[in-house]
Structure 1
Amino acid sequence: MAGAYVALEGGRVVEARARAPGTARGELVFTTAYTGYEESLTDPSYEEQILTFSYPLIGNYGVREERFESDRVHPRAVVARELTEDVADWLADEGVPAVDHLDTRDLVGGIREEGAMKCGIAAGPDATPEDALAELEDCPGMSDHVDIGAQVSVDEREIHLGEGDTDVALVDCGAKDSIVESLVDRGANVHVLPYDVAPEDVEAVDPDILFVSNGPGDPANFEAARSLVDEFVGEIPLAGICLGQQIIARALGGTTEKMDFGHRGVNQPVRDLETNRVVMTTQNHGYTVADPGDLDVTQVNVNDDTPEGLDSEDLDVITRQYHPEANPGPHDSLDFFDDVLAMARPGDDSSRRLVTAD
């Protein structure tokens, strides 16, 4: 089996086994998810990153396209303790380098201590440590990807019809397919718009709700989406998930900051400040809201108190940092989409909830 090398910021080089050949550079991050590897690998929020799985065996239930969250694999490379043949072959077909047979516990511990770091990978029969170090030397930081939205967004409007009469303008900054499906399943007509859509093109949709999606990178680099929020706040109800929460907060006077190693996994606990109930959530983000600006913090992460939910009844804004639509789960917070659509129906008595009713 061919060799591989993982070069870490600071100069350390780790030897591994090549499972899919090639070279790659990106920000090295980890996820604690033990299921949902297909969903993680096709999540656009991993664009320009190298994804390490902390769970030791990845691929034990095969690869099925119906589980994908987009039409391609987004991480620049994949690192695991052990990859099955199914996943390794899939990544090779996608042209995404993959390595295993290395100590991922040590790697994850290093990320937790030192933070997400630049990384270079070289895998294949002719790979050398120098090849991996060359990738590391040329690796940009996440904030340097100033137009990362262009890599993950639709080029032109796509329409997904539900069975109701609510129109949602979804600003696609790297939206997962499950977000669209969750809205359509509840009857909404979803107009997926490019990340840099102009205000007049949003007006042409005449939406009942403006929804800013998840996506990769630094929210400061999504200026067009921030401007849209500024343009329509107070006129159209606003909602956002993950990067969308950060963009909306920045537009409403708030600030964001890069986290040491982010939240990535399917077991992130979130507490609702009104009900004091805690639910488990799926998350994938490396930035967080530092100051919510004109919004109220309604939910927080149990582990570090970072904002997980923002709200403003006066402005008709509701956002979540986590992924209520997560596949394969947990599904504790799917009612978020009911709350979003309720904003398009003045006089609806539905309350904004955190958890699905028993």
Structure 2
Amino acid sequence: MSDAYLALEDGSVVEARCRAPGRTRGELVFTTAYTGYEESLTDPSYEEQVLTFSYPLIGNYGVREERFESDRVHPRAAVAREFTDDVAEWLESEGVPAVDHLDTRDLVTGIRDEGAMKCGIAAGPDATPEAAKEELGLCKGMSEHTDIGARVSIAERETHNPEGDGPHVALIDCGAKGSIVSSLVERHAVVEILPYDATPAEVREIDPDVLFVSNGPGDPENFVAAKELVEEFSGDLPLAGICLGQQVVASALGGGTEKMEFGHRGVNQPVRDLRSGQVVMTTQNHGYTVSDPGPLEVTQINVNDDTPEGLESDDLGVITRQYHPEANPGPHDSLSFFDDVLAMSEAGERTSPSP
């Protein structure tokens, strides 16, 4: 007898096994990654989503805190063909429902064919299909949530590597992965992490060499303060962005964004550089994309669907990537992005921000 149920937006109810009890709801998305489950589960970009793993066994190399990208699990629930006890116990300790023993191939192909959909989950000894359907009904209005940044951002400014002898980076935390900070620190940068709703005055106070907008969850149009920072410092400071950061930068500079049918999530997304013709494999996790680059040049595209993966402007001092160059556990084909970001300030492209 099943002790877990998923109620899907298409009207179906899927039976499963409870590995961590609870009731919740969210947007059902999938990742094709077969390693890096710890990184995915602690990635703030998955906030408010229900994460389905397409790889059948999740947890085959344990759970180690040093692999975490943040201080907690961000998906509202986790779904797999089979979770090991290590992962199931970790998720239960985090209060995150987890279910397995269901046909994840069917879920993934359904999302691929029909697009990401909302779902409700009920797991535990008292779970019923009706309880899962009730959770699904509570999904109404979730897409209208506009302050998701508050759930994933730091509350107060943090300084990393204060003794560094490299450029001074103001990192706007819209849900930044720890690997972004580590990648900058490894290159001797001083990294000042600012909350997602930081003001221009707060940026001026630290007088950075680069303004960097991080990854994060949801619709980039919800990150109004970050857009205002890009507008304010465009032309004064070199600008960089990753994932949601690329979308925020493009939107702030006159471009546009749109929601994708089911997004890009996994560690094997092929990206072509339009200048060199080289194709690299990348890690991605996003449900929105840039539909109009505005004044920025599209320098890289996704091989599968031609969506923009890299935007640049020499005149404005902008370089952004839709994928995650800092990806852990990999691939690491594009780590040179961080060298390019820091080189913008070292090349003397910066002018002092206006008072």
Shorter-chain TM-score above 0.5: yes
Residue aligning to 2:49:
49
Q: Deviations over 1:277-311 (max 9, x none)?
A: 00000000000000000100000000000000000
Question: Would you say the 8 A contact 2:166–2:187 is kept in 1?
Answer: no
Q: Which amino acid aligns with 2:189?
A: A
Query: What is the CA distance between 1:2 and its match in structure 2?
Result: 6.3
For residues 239-254 of structure 1, the aligned pairs below 5 Å read 239-254=240-255
Distance 1:140 1:89 in 2: 30
Question: Would you say the 8 A contact 1:173–1:212 is kept in 2?
Answer: yes
Q: Deviations over 1:246-269 (max 9, x none)?
A: 000000110000000000000000
For residues 311-350 of structure 1, the aligned pairs below 5 Å read 311-346=312-347
Q: Which amino acid aligns with 1:65?
A: E
Distance 2:142 2:308 in 1: 21
Query: What is the CA distance between 1:10 and its match in structure 2?
Result: 2.3
Question: Would you say the 8 A contact 1:215–1:243 is kept in 2?
Answer: yes
Distance 2:118 2:143 in 1: 12
Residue aligning to 1:219:
220
Residue aligning to 1:292:
293
Residue aligning to 1:78:
78
Question: Would you say the 8 A contact 2:2–2:15 is kept in 1?
Answer: no
Residue aligning to 1:230:
231
Distance 2:95 2:88 in 1: 11
Question: Would you say the 8 A contact 2:22–2:124 is kept in 1?
Answer: yes
For residues 11-160 of structure 1, the aligned pairs below 5 Å read 11-140=11-140, 143-160=143-160
Normalising by structure 1, report the TM-score: 0.96
Distance 2:32 2:47 in 1: 18
Question: Would you say the 8 A contact 1:142–1:217 is kept in 2?
Answer: no
Distance 1:245 1:165 in 2: 23
Query: What is the CA distance between 1:145 and its match in structure 2?
Result: 1.6
> What secondary structure does 1:135 align onto?
helix
Query: What is the CA distance between 1:141 and its match in structure 2?
Result: 5.5
Distance 2:39 2:296 in 1: 31
For residues 252-263 of structure 1, the aligned pairs below 5 Å read 252-263=253-264
Query: What is the CA distance between 1:347 and its match in structure 2?
Result: 5.4
Question: Would you say the 8 A contact 2:311–2:319 is kept in 1?
Answer: yes
Distance 2:2 2:154 in 1: 37
Q: In the alignment, does 2:168 pair up with 1:170?
A: no
Distance 1:215 1:123 in 2: 28
Distance 2:58 2:329 in 1: 15
Question: Would you say the 8 A contact 1:142–1:218 is kept in 2?
Answer: no
> What secondary structure does 1:29 align onto?
strand
Query: What is the CA distance between 1:346 and its match in structure 2?
Result: 2.2
Quote the RMSD (CA, aligned, Å). Answer: 1.1
**Mind listing any 5+ residue stretches in structure 2 that lack a counterpart?**
350-355
Question: Would you say the 8 A contact 1:2–1:124 is kept in 2?
Answer: no
Distance 1:206 1:47 in 2: 31
Distance 1:2 1:32 in 2: 26
4+ residue runs over 2 A deviation = 140-143
Distance 2:233 2:252 in 1: 11
**Mind listing any 5+ residue stretches in structure 1 that lack a counterpart?**
349-358
Query: What is the CA distance between 1:166 and its match in structure 2?
Result: 1.3
Distance 1:269 1:244 in 2: 20
Distance 2:116 2:85 in 1: 28
Distance 1:239 1:142 in 2: 29
Identity %: 77
> What secondary structure does 1:163 align onto?
coil
Normalising by structure 2, report the TM-score: 0.97
Question: Would you say the 8 A contact 1:25–1:121 is kept in 2?
Answer: yes
Distance 2:274 2:175 in 1: 29
Distance 2:326 2:119 in 1: 30
Query: What is the CA distance between 1:238 and its match in structure 2?
Result: 0.2
Distance 1:275 1:142 in 2: 42
Query: What is the CA distance between 1:75 and its match in structure 2?
Result: 0.1
Distance 1:119 1:217 in 2: 17
Q: Which amino acid aligns with 1:145?
A: H
